[in-house]
Amino acid sequence: MSAPGLLGIMRLIVARDLKLAVRHWDQVVQPLIFFVIVTTLFPLAISPALDELRRIAPGVVWVAAMLASLLSLESLFRPDVEDGTMEQWALSAQPLSILLLAKTFTHWLLSGLPLVLMSPVVGTALGLPASVWPVLALSLALGTGSLSILGAIGAALTVAVRRGNVLLALLVLPLEMPVLIFGARAVDLAMQGESVVGPLNLMAALLLLFASLGPIAMAAAMRISVET
């Protein structure tokens, strides 16, 4: 059997993680339920009036998405580190950064993409007009990618720490603030009927920057975490 190339290896990792996710589907669904519950809190706390909710809806959806993505990060690397898979990866001849990037991509497929698909429903509940849906979905698609990568760096740093999830939030949230700013602003601009090209371009640029530099930081952090 010939050894698979890097793309083949990435495909194998994505397939394996997807299979694992199907077998533990409750862990995939929980952040989604959390996302819906958080967005429900705002009408209860502020006001049920739709025109009032409409004003804050972009921010609400984005904050909820950020928290939901944070919630699923904890289990991103932990099982593999605990059962020793990660050590084998660190020792293997393949670049660890690429392997971790594949895992992060799967994380996005399982946590970011469902949020994108859910966003029209949640947006409608908060009074967002249908004309804004594409922008909301696109901004979430670009932004949750950046969130997954930044979060994966934090997860790799804290995976060896006991009770690391509060720490993880503390480290990752300040770094994610630019994504939140651009994401919520794009939706806001779309609601006012203005051009959203600027913030969406910036978000795409951030995603490219994080996707190219992030895996290096992830791999360096993971090597520190798994060495004994």
Partner 1 sequence: MWLWFHKLSSPPHAFRTAGRLRPWFFWPAVLLIAIGTFGGLVLAPEDYQQKDAFRILYVHVPSASLSLMVYVAMAVGAAIGLIWRMKLAHAFAAACAPIGAWFTVLTLATGSIYGKPMWGTWWEWDPRLTSELILLFLYLGYMALRASFDDTQRADRASAILAIVGVVNVPIVKYSVVWWNSLHQGPSISKLSAPSIHGSMLWPLLVMMLGFVLYFAAVMCDRIRSEILRRERNASWLSEIDAET
Q: List the end-to-end C-alpha distance of the chain, in Å, as a whole number.
A: 34
Q: Is 161 in the site for partner 1 (CB under 8 A)?
A: yes
d(CA 71, CA 196): 29
Q: Is 67 in the site for partner 1 (CB under 8 A)?
A: no
Residue 68 C-beta: closest distance to partner 1, Å: 20
Binding partner 1 (rule: CB under 8 A), the pick from 126, 136, 142, 153 is: 153
d(CA 32, CA 201): 27
Q: Is 158 in the site for partner 1 (CB under 8 A)?
A: yes
Residue 167 C-beta: closest distance to partner 1, Å: 6
Contacts of 182 (CB under 8 A, 6+ apart): 139, 143, 199, 202, 203, 206
Q: What angle do CA 8, 83, 147 make, to 5 degrees?
A: 60
Q: Is 208 in the site for partner 1 (CB under 8 A)?
A: no
Which residue type does 170 have? L
Q: Is 29 in the site for partner 1 (CB under 8 A)?
A: no
Q: Is the distance from CB of 57 to CB of 71 less than 8 angstroms?
A: no
Binding partner 1 (rule: CB under 8 A), the pick from 122, 123, 182, 196 is: 182
Q: What is the largest CA-CA distance in the chain?
A: 63
Q: Is 171 in the site for partner 1 (CB under 8 A)?
A: yes
Q: Is the distance from CB of 99 to CB of 16 less than 8 angstroms?
A: no
Residue 145 C-beta: closest distance to partner 1, Å: 15
User: Is the Cβ of residue 43 or residue 151 nearer to partner 1 in the bound state?
Assistant: 151
The contact set with partner 1 (CB under 8 A) reads: 153, 157-158, 160-161, 164, 167, 170-171, 173-175, 177-178, 181-182, 185, 202, 206, 213, 217, 220-221, 224-225
